[in-house]
Structure 1
Amino acid sequence: MHLRGKRVLITGGSSGIGFGVARALLRAGARVVVTGRRADRLDAAVDALRPDGDVTAVVADVGTDDGRKRTLANAIDALGGLDILVNNAGGVRAGRLEQVEADDLRAMLEIDLVAPILLTRDAMPALRASGEAMIVNISSVIALVGIPFYATYAAAKAGLAQFSEALRRELNGEGIHVLTVYPAGTDTPMMQTNEAGADLGFGREPVEDVAAAIVAGIAEDALSVVRGQESRAEMLRLNRDDPAAVDARFFGIKHELETAVRGHRAL
């Protein structure tokens, strides 16, 4: 896909991966609308992004019906249509299942799974009108290797990944491609309350590297983008071939991991 002139909507674009993808797409010549729940953060993001190109902000919560409606209406009005939808907005709450509040569990499912499905459905008419469109769903490597104390987050992100794969096949040959992205630990505000380091499997990649890989995947019409260093790739292979070995590896660090991530909350 040629990116110059493409009309892009990015949810959760005020910081982190969404902001990085917005900047990279603007520099490639795309026109971008970013969304978020906090006006102050969006204003700061737009001020930072404006030197790179044509960017507009929509203050809305895509976890609500009204927020999704306003997001799409304002984005399509600003852009004159829609070519690329990036479902990036997300939230996380780590901890033992029985210790996580029900409201936090529901919030993860709503923002990480239900919201992108419904927003994608509502965006389909505009994407079909494009003639060359793409849906980019930001999942997580936790969808590929379940990590203790992230059970519900893993469920939501794995659900999003399977939604992506099934939808890609559903839309094959109809002018809309679907790309699934699996970021590993990334140096974003969402990770600030996670105290686990590389020794516990939570290394941090720079946002710029992850964003560059995503934009390259868009340009190449890739099926997926999987991030993480070689240690992560090795764990993916091991989880496929010998999942009991991965169980044993996590068992050996379970106490340390629980202590490090139990305060991880970004909802």
Structure 2
Amino acid sequence: MGRRTPQRYRAVLTGAGGGIGSAIARRLAPQADALLLVGRQPAPLAALRAELGPQVQVVCGDLTAPTTLDAIEQAARAMGGVNLLVNNAGISQFHSFETQAPEAMRAMLDTNLLAPMLLTRRLLPLLHQAPAAQVVNIGSVFGLLGYPGFAAYGASKAGLKGFSQALRRELSDSAIEVRYFAPRATRTSINSSAVNAMNSALGTAEDSPEAVADAFADFLAGTAWQATMGRKESFFVMLNRLLPSLPDDAIRKQLAVIRQYLPK
């Protein structure tokens, strides 16, 4: 993988108040002339702004609300434009699909897929004004490798991967690159106690938010259009694409353990 010429960013980062988001914010801040942090909770955003410096601005709101998109667009214009959009905000629910509430499914699709699409559309005019710009969508290994208990969540992240690839090709004659970065299991509050217990029982490898931010920074500095964290996970994603019956069998052997923790 090649390396990019280092550049200064005017960046928008969603989901900045969470574990991965705040870790990415700390990695981006030294490289940013302007950094707009977006999240739903004011306290962590205010703390990050105080920690990271005067180049940091915040927008607090729900990304599924048009008023929040308005506020982000206005703030991005006020800070002089954007050359990096990181769509990181996301929600998850580990649950049996047969009994999962339709409202929970809609919330995941709205937050994890539709909101990044609509925000990207809002900011494309500003991104086009930059000499070079990137949109980086933060997905999940579960968007590349379907897993029990995460049917709706995996669908939202798989949709984000498809959106990223299609838009990347649509904008391939422009100065905007669209990229997809997929973490594996990460130790953040997005995981329920059931997920944590299942991961422990299965011996699932987990990363810290700081490790994800380090890998993201390396990805951002490189030229690959997509990346998946974890050698084992990357191997299974490749098998899932080429020989899906092998991951089918491997995951089927885990079902008895998964069902012990799967909310009904």
TM-score by length of 1: 0.90
Instruction: Decide which moves more: 244-253 or 61-70.
Output: 244-253
- Is the CA contact 1:58–1:75 (under 8 Å) kept in the aligned structure 2? no
Is 1:43 the equivalent of 2:11? no
- Is the CA contact 1:3–1:25 (under 8 Å) kept in the aligned structure 2? no
Q: Which amino acid aligns with 1:133?
A: A
- Is the CA contact 1:94–1:261 (under 8 Å) kept in the aligned structure 2? yes
Say which of 213, 221, 224 aligns to 1:222.
224
Q: Which amino acid aligns with 1:43?
A: A
Aligned residues between the structures = 259
Which structure 2 residues correspond to residues 253-264 of structure 1 after superposition, within 5 A? 253-262=254-263
Which structure 2 residues correspond to residues 80-159 of structure 1 after superposition, within 5 A? 80-159=80-159
Separation (CA, whole Å) in 2 of partners of 1:29 and 1:121: 22
> Closer, same or farther in 2 for the Cα pair 1:261/1:17, shift >3 Å?
farther
| Structure 1 counterpart SS, 2:134 | strand
- Superposition deviation, residue 241 in structure 1: 3.4
- Superposition deviation, residue 233 in structure 1: 2.6
- CA shift digits 1:135-181 (9 cap, x unpaired): 00011111111001111111110010011011111111311011101
Q: CA RMSD in A?
A: 1.9
Q: Which amino acid aligns with 2:169?
A: R
- Superposition deviation, residue 117 in structure 1: 0.5
- CA shift digits 1:219-256 (9 cap, x unpaired): 2232112102x322332233233322222222222132
Separation (CA, whole Å) in 1 of partners of 2:72 and 2:61: 6
- Superposition deviation, residue 55 in structure 1: 1.4
Separation (CA, whole Å) in 2 of partners of 1:65 and 1:155: 23
| Structure 2 counterpart SS, 1:146 | coil
Say which of 6, 11, 16 aligns to 1:8.
11
> Closer, same or farther in 2 for the Cα pair 1:246/1:67, shift >3 Å?
same
Query: Structure 2 unaligned runs (5+)?
Result: none
Separation (CA, whole Å) in 2 of partners of 1:252 and 1:99: 23
Q: Which amino acid aligns with 2:224?
A: A
Q: Aligned residue for 1:160?
A: 160
> Closer, same or farther in 2 for the Cα pair 1:9/1:2, shift >3 Å?
farther
- Superposition deviation, residue 198 in structure 1: 5.3
Say which of 190, 199, 209 aligns to 1:207.
209
Separation (CA, whole Å) in 2 of partners of 1:244 and 1:199: 24
Greater than 4 Å deviation, 4+ residue runs: 1-4
Calculate percent identity across the aligned residue pairs: 32
Separation (CA, whole Å) in 2 of partners of 1:201 and 1:242: 24
TM-score by length of 2: 0.91
Separation (CA, whole Å) in 2 of partners of 1:10 and 1:200: 33
- CA shift digits 1:105-125 (9 cap, x unpaired): 100000000000111011111
> Closer, same or farther in 2 for the Cα pair 1:47/1:2, shift >3 Å?
farther
- CA shift digits 1:75-113 (9 cap, x unpaired): 331x21111111110011111112111111100000000
Separation (CA, whole Å) in 1 of partners of 2:203 and 2:22: 24
